[in-house]
Amino acid sequence: MRNSHSALLSMLLVASPAMALHAVNTDFVPNPAPHPFNVRDLVMMDRVSDPQLSPDGRYAAFSVRSTDYAANKGVTAIYVLDLKGKAAKPVKVVDKGSAARWSQDGRSLYFLAAAKGVTQLWQVDLTGRGSLNLGRHAAPIQVSHGVLDINDYKLSPHGKRVLLSYQVFTNCATLACTEQRVEARKQDKASGTLYHKLFVRHWDTWANGRRNQLFVARFDPHGQLPVEPTLLSRGIDGDVPSKPFGDASEFAFSPDGQSVYFDVRIAGRTEPWSTNFDVYEVPVDGSALPKNLTAANKAWDAYPVPSPDGKTLYYLAMKTPGFESDRFAIMARDLATGATREVDPRWDRSAGNLSISADGKTLYATADDEGQHPLFAIDVATGDVKKLSGAGTVTGYAWAASTLLLARDDLKHPADLYLGKANHDRLTQVTHFNAADLKNAQMGDVTFFRFPGWHDQSVQGYVVKPANYQPGKTYPVAFIVHGGPQGAMSNGWSYRWNPQTYAGQGFAVVTVNFHGSTGYGQAFTDSISGDWGGKPLEDLKRGWKAALSQYSFLDGRRACALGASYGGYMVYWMAGVWNSPWKCFVDHDGVFDTRAMYYDTDELWFEEKENGGTPWAQPANYERFNPVNHVKDWRVPMLVVHSGDDYRIPITQGLGAFTALQRRGIPSEFLTFPDENHFVLKPHNSVQWHDTVNAWLKKWTAKEAPKAGSN
């Protein structure tokens, strides 16, 4: 869903042990013997991502995030794999670094890593005789020396320049000016901040007046960059790339390296209720102000991809202003005439991760599709679409010299790399980073199913068997409601809401991709807006009934419902209007009061689109499906989880729900993390979250479960 800890609550929890939640022991020793999959397996798995192919297609560079559990953090390293070497194994070439990108000649890698606490650009030479000398490469060399962290970067096609994103004060002429003002602020004994407009805070960060801005720098003859780069986004009041999740896919060089394209939402006073991103063009030397290429479309235009001949600019565009979950269509702009056309008008999917083939004839994109997230090829001339990968989720990919490299995962496997060829569907797995752990960790089998949902329209869900499944036995159920709401529970691996963590605890899992989910056509996705508690609830009811009728191992008398974000909203809604099947609820960062949510959240466009306007203009829409109006009907025990740095759905929503539960005398607990946002990301916190949730589920689904009138 479109994320300050209460000092009073903190004092209460410290002062009164009887009222405080117990802290869960998060220490553990790795288990090499066969065992059901658990959260300790989850947090310690290596996370493979960001595949990059050398220009000749022979070598793969990629990132692997491992967990330093003692330090309570992840550590990202860079590996290279010789794809033509017989029985070749990945070689770690950078111990701590990320965002590896090949040089133009394929002999070295650039990457980001810290130097004296500041993120800089580095280069590591991998040169050998004939092939790269991966085992005895040179030591990395720092090539940037700015005083601020580099957020993202992109190398020019000829390797002479690099685009750099820094977070700066836009009225500063140099990076040094921003750094000096930041240091002066730290020394100021006055701690107050005066705001004149929204955002005051966004996702998990308070606004400090700095913007992500785009710069360009040229390598000198020694491969070094100047301390002060050239600003390209001059006069732009916005973030390049966007906050909080934007990246280098939001800017690009032209093939000749003389122009730069980027997307941005102009902020002003409309930023919290606008999704009007536009694509801009600017000369690479910054000699002119950026020019808006997509001003005619008041919706979202982003992710520019120039054609190899430089004549066409491809990008993704939505059509509905103020909406973040509209279909992203692939657009083509003739850079000489300004004429635009939609490349894929017949493809009822929302494209993402756009790129283009070397000959300019094929575009590539990923998209949600019927519970999967494959890679697709789109013919530029005809708009015809071909699926290039099968079941599972493609999290990253690269093309070079007719070679395809995918990072792919599914519900039983975390991401690894797979190799393919152009015009072939067959993929070969080339990395096996968690093979030993996966061999020992027993998981549940997954089955997708369909049923007639709202208005008898086809709806999809899936069931996961418990890891210790035995035919003829029945098992308690974790019924998971996905967030978004424009999202889906798909065939992909997750490090937060992973069904296998429940299967490993002896639960069966049931999910439903109700109306509003992605991957089933834009009309299906759009149908949830204005109807949060209507069609989706009907689908959940029918999906639960269908699952019980099709899978005899589900014990419908021992089932709990869980959800986060919109899924958390639905749990609060179900608590008042559909609580009869459930032994317990788990609500993570959910919306408890839809009216108050509007005034508390950061991104207002979401609330206004979903409710048809503001609460003062459309008050009935905000009250129609408001969980707070049904608290009198709550009766099911509930665990509420809400974190202090969640500014998307602020902690007051969770505190309000817990207050209602306690005042009504309903068995309930409240778990909060003062240092987490809308997600729980730190390894120890993740373990505590799972242990607390699993203990709650087991307590209320046990065959001798306590009565609801007692804690």
Model confidence pLDDT, tens digit, residues 612-665:
999 999 999 999 999 999 999 999 999 999 999 999 999 999 999 999 999 999
- Cα(352)–Cα(615) distance, integer angstroms: 32
Once rounded to an integer, what is the mean pLDDT over residues 56-60?
95
The pLDDT tens digits for 589-607 are 999 999 999 999 999 999 9
β-bridge partners, 616: none
End-of-domain residue from the set 292, 315, 348 = 292
User: Is residue 522 situated within a structural domain?
Assistant: yes
DSSP 240-301: SS-TTT--GGGEEE-TTSSEEEEEEE--TTTGGG---EEEEEEETT--S--EES-TT--S-E
Residue 4 pLDDT > 60 = no
User: Is residue 464 situated within a structural domain?
Assistant: yes
- Cα(40)–Cα(24) distance, integer angstroms: 13
Same domain, 12 and 79: no
The pLDDT tens digits for 104-117 are 999 999 999 999 99
**Judging by beta carbons within 10 Å of its beta carbon (0-12, 13-18, 19+), is residue 96 exposed, middle or buried?**
exposed
Per-residue confidence band for 9, with pLDDT thresholds at 50, 70 and 90 = very low
- Both tokens of 687, joined, read 């373990």
User: Is residue 196 situated within a structural domain?
Assistant: no
Q: Return the CA Rg of the chain.
A: 26
Enclosing domain of residue 462: 7-18+438-701
**Full-prediction pTM beyond 0.75?**
yes
Same domain, 379 and 526: no
User: Is residue 180 situated within a structural domain?
Assistant: no
Number of domains in the chain: 4
Closest-CA residue to 641 (of 564, 708, 560): 564
- Cα(311)–Cα(337) distance, integer angstroms: 10
- Cα(286)–Cα(233) distance, integer angstroms: 8
Work out the angle at residue 407's Cα, subtended by the Cα atoms of residues 401 and 408, and round it to the nearest 5 degrees.
Answer: 130
Closest-CA residue to 213 (of 255, 168, 173, 171): 168
β-bridge partners, 385: 378
| First-to-last C-alpha distance (Å) of the chain | 31
CA dihedral 426, 432, 438, 440 (to 10 degrees): 130
Same domain, 602 and 588: yes
User: Is residue 535 situated within a structural domain?
Assistant: yes
Same domain, 244 and 306: no
Same domain, 286 and 309: no
pLDDT at 710: 57
pLDDT at 88: 86
The pLDDT tens digits for 428-463 are 999 999 999 999 999 999 999 999 999 999 999 999
What is the three-class DSSP state of 136? helix
User: Is residue 448 situated within a structural domain?
Assistant: yes
Same domain, 510 and 573: yes
What is the three-class DSSP state of 154? strand
User: Is residue 178 situated within a structural domain?
Assistant: no
Once rounded to an integer, what is the mean pLDDT over residues 316-324?
98
User: Is residue 39 situated within a structural domain?
Assistant: no
**Judging by beta carbons within 10 Å of its beta carbon (0-12, 13-18, 19+), is residue 279 exposed, middle or buried?**
buried
Same domain, 578 and 447: yes
Per-residue confidence band for 465, with pLDDT thresholds at 50, 70 and 90 = very high
Q: Which position has the higher pLDDT, 13 or 676?
A: 676
- Both tokens of 418, joined, read 């797979």
Same domain, 107 and 231: no
Residue 50's CATH number: 2.40.128
- Both tokens of 64, joined, read 């692997």
The pLDDT tens digits for 201-242 are 999 999 999 999 999 999 999 999 999 999 999 999 999 999
End-of-domain residue from the set 387, 421, 453 = 387
Same domain, 450 and 503: yes
Percentage of residues of the chain with pLDDT beyond 70: 94
Residue 627's CATH number: 3.40.50.1820
> For 372, which DSSP code?
B
Same domain, 346 and 481: no
Percentage of residues of the chain with pLDDT beyond 90: 91
Work out the angle at residue 59's Cα, subtended by the Cα atoms of residues 57 and 64, and round it to the nearest 5 degrees.
Answer: 125
Same domain, 566 and 444: yes
Same domain, 469 and 617: yes
The pLDDT tens digits for 304-319 are 999 999 999 999 999 9
Is the Cβ–Cβ distance between 391 and 410 less than 8 Å? yes
Is the Cβ–Cβ distance between 155 and 164 less than 8 Å? no
Per-residue confidence band for 85, with pLDDT thresholds at 50, 70 and 90 = confident
Question: Which residues fall within 8 angstroms of residue 545, CB to CB, at 6 or more apart?
Answer: none
Residue 256's CATH number: 2.120.10.30
Work out the angle at residue 144's Cα, subtended by the Cα atoms of residues 142 and 148, and round it to the nearest 5 degrees.
Answer: 120
Residue 86 pLDDT > 90 = no
Per-residue confidence band for 426, with pLDDT thresholds at 50, 70 and 90 = confident
